[in-house]
């Protein structure tokens, strides 16, 4: 059994990112399900991460939270293909993409579009069409920026896989399940080519959480 434990919520894109890094590098891990949205809160949550977020990595007495810290540790501490470029400019581009994803993409693509247009209906919950429209509107600038960076300096080219690919892929995977979203990606040639390539990665396929069963 691996000494790496990943605590995460099944549907969390950030927990999926950490899982994909393990899969790409061939790192065995034990998955421990924890729902940061549980009410009442899971009593383990405060001890694992005072900010109440996932994923969390545990390796013996060593505990780590924050996705970027976890993915860099996994890449640098374990054997397997390197997921960080050697050249400083390529590393900077990788960090730039991750920064765009965290700062600008997550909320509109995942929390507004996917959560409202896809996840909530699948779970039999109410959803807000205005939130979906706001997310789709905001997505144009984000997708344009990512399209300009795709293939640049060896980043987002679908061939050389970096932490940037693994950070972005789960969010695009969720986003493109919503009506109209796939067409928005396809209208951007560089990003579309990257997405076509990354969809075939076993790490993305094997980490797919599916959709929730109707809760009503």
Taking only the tens place, the pLDDT of each residue in 141-162 is 999 999 999 976 678 998 999 9
CATH says 4-77 is which class? alpha beta
Pseudo-torsion of CA 58, 61, 66, 68, nearest 10°? -80
What integer pLDDT is reported at residue 200 of this predicted model?
A: 95
Using a 10 angstrom Cβ sphere, with 0-12 exposed, 13-18 middle and 19 or more buried, the burial of residue 209 is middle
d(CA 12, CA 35): 9
- pLDDT higher than 50, residue 53: yes
How sure is the predictor about 2, in pLDDT bands with cuts at 50, 70 and 90? low
Rounded to whole angstroms, how far apart are CA atoms 20 and 163?
Answer: 10
Q: What are phi and psi of 144, to 5 degrees?
A: -60, -45
Q: Band of the pLDDT at 41, cuts 50, 70, 90?
A: confident
Tell me how crowded residue 119 is: count the other CB atoms within 10 A of its CB. Answer: 20
**pLDDT reported for residue 151:** 78
- Cβ neighbors of 205 (< 8 A, separation 6 or more) are 199
Q: How far apart are CA 126 and CA 78, in angstroms?
A: 43
**Residue 152 has what pLDDT?**
67
Cβ count near 89 (within 10 Å): 12
CATH architecture for the domain at 88-206: Up-down Bundle (1.20)
- Length reported for the chain: 216
**Unique residue bearing structure tokens 């890094």:** 21
Question: Do the domains at 4-77 and 88-206 have one common CATH topology?
Answer: no
Peptide bond preceding 32 in cis form (omega within 30 of 0):
no
Q: Which two tokens stand for residue 75?
A: 């890449």
Total-model pTM: 0.95
Q: What are the extents of the domains in the chain?
A: 4-77, 88-206
């Amino acid at each position: 059994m691996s000494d790496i434990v990943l605590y995460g919520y099944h549907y969390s894109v950030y927990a999926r990112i950490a899982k994909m890094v393990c899969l790409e590098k061939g790192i065995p891990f034990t998955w421990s399900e924890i729902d940061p949205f549980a009410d009442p809160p899971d009593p383990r949550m405060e001890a694992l991460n005072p900010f109440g977020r996932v994923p969390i990595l545990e390796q013996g007495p060593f505990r780590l939270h924050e996705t970027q810290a976890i993915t860099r540790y996994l890449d640098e501490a374990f054997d397997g293909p390197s997921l960080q470029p050697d050249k400083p400019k390529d590393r900077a581009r990788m960090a730039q993409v991750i920064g765009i994803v965290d700062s600008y993409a997550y909320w509109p693509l995942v929390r507004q579009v996917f959560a409202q247009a896809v996840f909530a209906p699948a779970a039999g919950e109410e959803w807000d069409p205005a939130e979906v429209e706001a997310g789709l509107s905001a997505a144009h600038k984000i997708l344009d920026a990512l399209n300009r960076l795709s293939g640049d300096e060896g980043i987002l080219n679908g061939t050389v896989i970096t932490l940037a690919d693994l950070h972005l892929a789960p969010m695009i995977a969720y986003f493109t399940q919503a009506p109209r979203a796939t067409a928005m990606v396809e209208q951007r040639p560089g990003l579309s080519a990257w997405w076509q390539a990354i969809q075939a990665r076993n790490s993305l396929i094997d980490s797919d959480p599916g959709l929730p069963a109707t809760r009503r």
